Amino acid sequence: MQKLLNILQEFTAWCGMQINVKKTYLLVIDDDIKRREQEPAPLLTIDGETLQTMNLHDACRYLGNWGTGNGDMRATKEVVRQEIIAARDLIKCHPLTPELATEFFTSNGMGVFHFSAARIEWSESELNDVKRLYVQAYKNAWHLPRSTASSLCIFPKTRGGKASTLPMAVLTQELLLHAERCMRHEDVVKKILLAGLAE
């Protein structure tokens, strides 16, 4: 691993880039605790500075998602939840039309869920919590009290509802788009997806 880091240092020096060692961490991904205790993480350096080693249970950001070395993505789910709450609360006493407030929530509150929906496993109770927050935001957009029946936001327009987008629809859309991207090229990803679908 150190040899690869040395090559990376040579490359970055050659092209005039710098590695921010303060933002670079070593995270050993292995949930076998006994093996982790027996084999400590290697000491790796960049430009003479030793990389900080993260604990297996500490969350770090990687490719836009927060997770731990053992695959626990609760930190990302909490970030998504807090962003939805912030977007919901921004339109609590807004001067916008209900349609504009809904559009604002869609771009801010839903956008953060869109990003993680297909990449992280969401339990039914977590999706229900996100749904509850969505419905609260829709009620804020339409200046409705929280005690208003949620069916008004959920039911289709043919049944007197607003037909608002809910987390399950977002998750379904993102999973289909993810599958479509995986099928575009004749490569290992496509073979893995097709093998999974055949099971």
Strand-pair partners of 49: 46
- pTM value is 0.74
Give me the pLDDT at residue 135, please. 95
Furthest-apart CA pair in the chain: how many Å?
A: 67
Could you tell me which residues come within 8 angstroms of residue 70 by beta carbon, excluding any fewer than 6 positions away? 29, 30, 31, 56, 57
Domains of the chain, residue spans:
2-56, 73-191
Q: What is the DSSP string of 13-71?
A: HHHT----GGG-EE------HHHHHHSPPP--EETTEEPEEPPTTS-EEETTEEE-TT-
3 three-class SS: helix
- Cα separation, 89 vs 86, whole angstroms: 5
What was the pLDDT predicted at 60? 83
pLDDT string in tens for the chain (199-residue length)? 899 999 999 999 999 999 999 888 887 777 677 877 788 888 999 989 999 888 878 888 877 888 887 778 899 999 999 999 999 999 998 999 999 999 999 999 888 898 888 788 999 999 999 999 999 999 999 999 999 999 888 888 888 888 888 899 998 898 898 889 889 999 998 999 899 888 8
Q: What is the pLDDT of residue 85?
A: 97
| Residue 31 confidence (pLDDT) | 66
**Residues linked to residue 46 through DSSP beta bridges, in sequence order:** 49
Instruction: Give the residue from 90, 116, 115, 110 showing the smallest Cα distance to 101.
Output: 90
